[in-house]
Amino acid sequence: MQRNATTLYPILLVHGLFGFERIGPFELFHDVKQALKAVGVQVFVPHLSAIHDNEVRGKQLLGQIDSVLRGTGASKVNLIGHSQGALAARYAAAVAPQRVASVTSVSGPNHGSELADFLRKALIPGRLPESVAQNVATLFSDFLCLLGGTTALPKNALAALNALTTVGVGDFNDKYPQALPESWGAQGAERVNGVRYYSWSGVVPEMNLQTLDPVQGICRALSQYFITEPGQNDGFVGRYSSHLGTVIRSDYPFDHLRSLRRASTEPAGAADSIQLYVEHALRLQAANL
């Protein structure tokens, strides 16, 4: 029986690119939300644009934070952002630190995504060999199809993609540098302007015939397009690119989507990605957050 992990402030789970309350067979944050509720945490999932740039989504998040504060009477919130959701959370904390107790980045592209770089180049004729451009675009399309999404490019897709490239996130970081490491692969400041910062992420594990998870298979295929962090990425985000604030760990053996869900079958000894959120709630509780 798990101990009570009630935090002082509510937790908001902030989704990333293409995130919805539910995508096809996946209800994003379902396992995380249920696990946190089971240990007494007050938890909310804000609804942001599924496809837009970091600042637009961050401004939307600020509005959702205000709604939670009014509804609960709390003075602050704890933000846990998955993938691009980490950048929205960072924006909110930088602009309104008085409303944010902590920011936790889970598989967040805090220094950009090499996959986004490849996808962006694939849209420019001649920037990549045709076979490479076609392959990376097809793999990403297959990933969206597995999630039940659409392969049609929405109107704001280019803005979202630009915002996730290393150049786009670099521009974002110039404006909102809070808790970024001063050197590659290091940890960042634990606290900035009264806000605590944490991060964790994973790397795609070796093929496991016990699982045969199609999402993991695509993430493994996409991971080959990483040059700076080959073999040290989750298929979407590089291990060291994810570092922010106190780095809890950045090489958990799971792919980008497995950092917020359990696979249908888990091999013996596999890391429980959902339990990490419960452990983090206890961490926040111990820090009086």
Which pTM value belongs to this model?
A: 0.87
Q: Indicate the CATH number for domain 11-286.
A: 3.40.50.1820
Q: Which of 53, 213, 234, 255 is catalytic?
A: 234
pLDDT in tens, 5-26: 899 999 999 988 766 545 555 5
pLDDT in tens, 222-276: 888 899 999 999 989 999 999 999 999 999 998 888 888 776 555 555 678 999 9
Give the 3-state secondary structure of residue 249. strand
Q: How far apart are CA 94 and CA 89, in angstroms?
A: 9
- Domain locations in the chain? 11-286
Mean of the pLDDT values across residues 91-111? 98
Q: Which of 15, 52, 82, 83 is catalytic?
A: 83
Q: How confident is the model at residue 175 (pLDDT cuts 50, 70, 90)?
A: very high
Mean of the pLDDT values across residues 179-196? 97
Active-site residue 83, yes or no? Answer: yes
Collect all residues with Cβ–Cβ distance below 8 Å to 137 and sequence separation of at least 6.
119, 122
Active-site residue 102, yes or no? Answer: no
> Which is more confidently placed, 201 or 21?
201
Active-site residue 251, yes or no? Answer: no
Q: Which of 15, 82, 243, 256 is catalytic?
A: 256
